[in-house]
C-alpha cells in the first residue's frame, strides 16, 4: 500500500457525509431566519420611537382619526339596532282593545245594602243607617279592621301615609311654636271637625316622677303651663308641660294621707287636697311653699269628706257629705255657711260657668239645680233612662249638661232646657261605654266631651260636639295604653288632654287642632 506524502495529503479534498451536511444546513437556515425576524422587530420598535420623538405627527393624527371614526360607526350601528329592537318590543306589548260582549244598565245604578241583616248590624252607628251604599259599607269595614288591628298595618303604607308624615312634621312645628307661649292664654280656633281627631301621644306628664300607686287626680293649672298629679301614694306633684321631657317642678308628701282628690284654687296659687278616711284636708300654698292642714271646719258635722268642687270665682268649696247633703264652705274663714240636701246619695256635683248655680246628681238618677247664693232648689228632673247615677259635668259656655249612669250611657242635655222644662229630653244618648261612666269632662271650647270608666281598661272616649259622635281614632293603639281611667282633664285652651290611670301614670296627648296650650 502506497503511502502519501504530507504535501500530497494537503492538496487532496476531504469527502463528507451527505446526510450530516444537510442537517447542519437546515439548522443554519432556521437560525438565520430567527435573527432576521428579531432584527425586523427591533427596527420597527426603533422606528416607532423615532417617530414619536422626532416627529411623524401627521401620520399619528391620521391613525387617531381612523380609530375614532371606527368607534363612532360601531356606536351608531348599536343605537340603530337597539331602537329597532325597542320598536319591535313596543309593538308586541300593545294590548288589543276589547269591547264588552254584554253591558247591563243596572251596573251603573248605585245600589244600597240592607244593614238590617244580623251580620251587618255591628257596622251601623244608629237606627238611621238602615241602608248604606256599598262604598260607605266598604269604608266602614276598613275602619273596623284598622281599629281591631290597632291602626293601619305596615303593609298598607301608601302615598297618603307619606303625605300624612309631612303633615305630622308641620304639626310638630306648630307644637314647638305652641310650647314657646306662656302666660295668660287667650286663643280662638276654627270649628273642630267630627270623625277623626288629629291627636298625638306625648311622653307621660309625670314621666319624671311616676306615682307608686293609683293616681286619683290630674289637673292643668288655670293660667300656667303646669300640670298637677295626686294619688294614693300620699303625694302631690307639679310638672312643667312641654310635651317632650315634662320636667318635675315640685312634689310634696303628705304623711299617712292617701289623696282622694286635689284641685287648684281659682287663682292657681293654692292646691286643696282631701283624703279617704276623715274630714281633714290640706291646703298647699305654692307662693309661700307652706302646707296648711285644716282639721276641722266650723259647722260641718260629717265624719269624712272625700269629694268637693271649687267655685269658679274661688270664694267657696262645695263639699259632698253623706246621706245626700251638700255643704257650701267659704275659703276665707273655713266654715260652712249653707247646706243643701238631695233625695238619696250624691254621686256628682258641678258649678255653672258663672258660679251662680249648682248642679248635683243623686245615685237614684235625679238631677237637682240649686241657687248658689240662696241654696234654694230651682228645679229637679229625672235623667232619662238612668237606673243609677254615677257622674255629672257642665260645659263652660253654659250650653251643655252631661249625666253618666251605671250602665255606661251618657245623656247630653241642653242647660237651658234643663232650667226651663220639668222633664227635658237629652240631645243625644251616648252608648259607647259598656261599664259605669265614672268620669266626664268638657273641653274649654265645648267641642269635646271626654267620657271614661274606671271599671274597664281602655274605656275612654272623646265625643265631638254638637254632633255627639265619637271620634273613631281614639283610643286606637297597637298595645294597651290607657288602662283604667280615674281622672281626666283638658289644658286651658285644649292643646293637651291628660288621663290619670290606675298604674300611676298621667298620660298626655297633644290635640293638634288647637294651636294654644
pLDDT of 397-425, one tens digit each?
Answer: 999 999 999 999 999 999 999 999 999 99
Q: Which of 356, 426, 419 is nearest to 385 (CA)?
A: 426
| Sheet of strand 270-275, all strands in order from the earlier edge strand to the far edge | 259-264, 270-275, 281-285, 290-294
Q: 138 — phi, psi (to 5°)?
A: -65, -40
Beta strands in 265-409 (DSSP E): 270-275, 281-285, 290-294, 308-310, 316-320, 325-330, 335-341, 346-351, 357-362, 366-371, 377-382, 389-394, 400-405
Contact 341, 325 (CB under 8 A): yes
DSSP symbols for 30-80: HHHHHHHHHHHHHHHHHHHHHHHHH--HHHHHHHHHHHHHHHHHHHHHHHH
- DSSP classification of residue 84: H
Contact 269, 287 (CB under 8 A): yes
- Residue-wise pLDDT tens digits, 243-302: 899 999 999 999 999 999 999 999 999 999 999 989 999 999 998 999 999 998 999 999
- How does strand 389-394 pair with strand 439-442? unpaired
pLDDT score, position 112? 74
pLDDT score, position 185? 42
Cis peptide before 466 (omega within 30 of 0): yes
- Residue-wise pLDDT tens digits, 73-104: 554 455 555 555 544 544 444 445 566 655 65
Contact 255, 273 (CB under 8 A): no
pLDDT score, position 30? 74
Report how far Cα 396 is from the mean position of its chain's Cα atoms: 27
C-alpha to C-alpha distance for 449 and 461, rounded to whole angstroms: 8
Grid cell of 33 as nine digits: 431566519
Q: What is the mean pLDDT of the chain?
A: 81
For residue 333, count other CB atoms closer than 10 A to its CB.
10
- DSSP classification of residue 514: -
Q: Which residue has the higher pLDDT, 300 or 113?
A: 300
Q: Is pLDDT of 16 > 70?
A: no
Highest mean pLDDT among 1-5, 46-50, 188-192, 193-197 belongs to 193-197
Share of the chain above pLDDT 90, in %: 60
What average pLDDT score do residues 93-121 get?
A: 60
pTM: 0.66
Q: Which residue has the higher pLDDT, 320 or 123?
A: 320
Q: Is pLDDT of 233 > 90?
A: yes
Confidence of residue 26 (pLDDT cuts 50, 70, 90): confident
pLDDT score, position 340? 96
Cis peptide before 339 (omega within 30 of 0): no
pLDDT score, position 43? 55
- Residue-wise pLDDT tens digits, 160-198: 444 444 445 555 555 555 554 444 444 445 899 999 999
pLDDT score, position 140? 76
C-alpha to C-alpha distance for 463 and 440, rounded to whole angstroms: 11
What average pLDDT score do residues 482-502 get?
A: 97
- How does strand 325-330 pair with strand 316-320? antiparallel
Q: Is pLDDT of 472 > 60?
A: yes
- Residue-wise pLDDT tens digits, 420-448: 999 999 999 999 999 999 999 999 999 99
C-alpha to C-alpha distance for 457 and 59, rounded to whole angstroms: 93
> Which secondary structure element, helix H or strand E, spans residue 145, and what is its range?
helix 134-149
Grid cell of 314 as nine digits: 274661688
Q: Which residues contact 17 (CB under 8 A, 6 or more apart)?
A: none
C-alpha to C-alpha distance for 176 and 512, rounded to whole angstroms: 11
pLDDT score, position 12? 42
pLDDT score, position 69? 59
Confidence of residue 134 (pLDDT cuts 50, 70, 90): confident
Confidence of residue 1 (pLDDT cuts 50, 70, 90): very low
Strand partners, 249: none
56: left (phi over 0), alpha (psi -120 to 50) or beta: left
For residue 131, count other CB atoms closer than 10 A to its CB.
14
Q: Is pLDDT of 67 > 60?
A: no
Confidence of residue 40 (pLDDT cuts 50, 70, 90): low
C-alpha to C-alpha distance for 305 and 329, rounded to whole angstroms: 12
Q: Is pLDDT of 218 > 90?
A: yes
> Looking up cell 264588552, which residue turns up?
100
What average pLDDT score do residues 440-458 get?
A: 97
> Looking up cell 243609677, which residue turns up?
388
Domains of the chain, start order: 193-511 (2.130.10.10)
Amino acid at each position: 500500500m502506497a503511502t502519501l506524502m504530507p504535501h500530497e495529503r494537503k492538496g487532496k479534498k476531504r469527502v463528507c457525509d451527505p446526510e450530516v451536511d444537510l442537517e447542519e444546513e437546515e439548522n443554519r437556515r432556521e437560525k438565520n431566519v430567527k435573527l432576521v425576524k428579531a432584527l425586523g422587530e427591533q427596527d420597527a420598535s426603533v422606528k416607532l420611537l423615532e417617530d414619536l420623538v422626532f416627529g411623524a405627527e401627521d401620520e399619528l393624527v391620521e391613525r387617531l382619526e381612523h380609530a375614532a371614526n371606527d368607534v363612532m360607526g360601531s356606536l351608531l350601528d348599536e343605537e340603530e339596532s337597539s331602537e329597532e329592537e325597542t320598536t319591535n318590543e313596543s309593538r308586541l306589548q300593545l294590548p288589543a282593545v276589547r269591547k264588552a260582549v254584554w253591558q247591563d244598565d243596572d251596573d251603573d245604578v248605585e245600589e244600597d245594602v240592607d244593614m238590617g241583616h244580623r251580620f251587618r248590624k255591628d257596622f251601623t252607628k244608629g237606627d238611621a243607617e238602615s241602608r248604606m251604599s256599598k262604598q260607605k259599607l266598604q269604608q266602614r269595614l276598613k275602619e273596623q279592621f284598622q281599629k281591631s288591628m290597632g291602626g293601619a298595618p305596615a303593609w298598607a303604607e301608601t302615598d297618603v301615609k307619606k303625605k300624612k308624615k309631612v303633615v305630622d312634621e308641620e304639626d310638630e312645628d306648630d307644637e314647638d311654636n305652641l310650647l314657646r307661649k306662656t302666660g295668660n292664654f287667650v286663643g280662638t280656633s276654627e270649628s273642630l271637625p267630627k270623625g277623626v281627631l288629629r291627636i298625638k301621644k306625648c311622653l307621660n306628664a309625670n314621666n319624671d316622677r311616676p306615682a307608686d300607686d293609683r293616681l286619683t287626680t290630674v289637673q292643668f293649672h288655670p293660667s300656667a303651663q303646669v300640670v298637677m298629679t295626686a294619688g294614693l301614694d300620699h303625694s302631690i306633684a307639679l310638672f312643667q308641660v312641654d310635651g317632650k321631657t315634662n320636667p318635675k317642678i315640685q312634689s310634696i308628701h303628705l304623711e299617712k294621707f292617701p289623696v282622694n282628690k286635689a284641685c287648684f284654687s281659682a287663682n292657681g296659687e293654692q292646691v286643696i287636697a282631701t283624703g279617704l278616711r276623715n274630714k281633714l284636708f290640706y291646703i298647699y300654698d305654692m307662693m309661700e311653699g307652706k302646707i296648711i292642714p285644716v282639721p276641722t271646719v266650723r259647722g260641718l258635722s260629717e265624719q269624712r269628706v272625700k269629694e268637693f268642687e271649687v267655685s269658679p270665682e274661688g270664694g267657696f268649696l262645695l263639699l259632698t257629705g253623706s246621706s245626700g247633703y251638700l255643704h257650701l264652705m267659704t275659703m276665707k274663714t273655713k266654715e260652712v255657711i249653707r247646706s243643701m240636701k238631695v233625695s238619696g246619695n250624691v254621686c256628682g256635683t258641678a258649678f255653672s260657668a258663672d258660679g251662680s248655680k249648682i248642679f248635683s246628681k243623686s245615685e237614684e238618677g235625679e238631677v237637682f239645680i240649686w241657687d248658689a247664693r240662696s241654696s234654694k232648689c230651682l228645679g229637679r228632673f229625672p235623667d232619662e233612662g238612668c237606673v243609677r247615677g254615677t257622674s255629672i259635668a257642665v260645659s263652660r259656655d253654659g250650653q251643655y249638661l252631661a249625666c253618666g249612669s251605671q250602665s255606661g250611657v251618657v245623656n247630653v242635655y241642653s242647660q237651658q232646657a234643663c232650667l226651663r222644662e220639668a222633664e227635658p229630653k237629652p240631645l243625644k244618648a251616648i252608648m259607647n261605654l259598656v261599664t259605669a261612666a265614672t268620669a266626664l269632662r268638657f273641653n274649654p271650647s265645648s267641642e269635646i266631651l271626654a267620657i271614661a270608666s274606671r271599671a274597664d281598661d281602655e274605656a275612654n272616649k272623646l265625643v265631638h260636639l254638637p254632633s255627639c259622635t265619637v271620634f273613631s281614632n281614639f283610643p286606637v293603639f297597637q298595645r294597651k295604653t290607657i288602662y283604667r281611667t280615674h281622672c281626666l282633664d283638658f289644658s286651658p285652651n285644649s292643646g293637651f288632654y291628660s288621663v290619670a290611670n290606675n298604674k300611676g301614670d298621667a298620660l298626655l296627648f297633644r290635640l293638634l287642632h288647637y294651636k294654644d296650650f
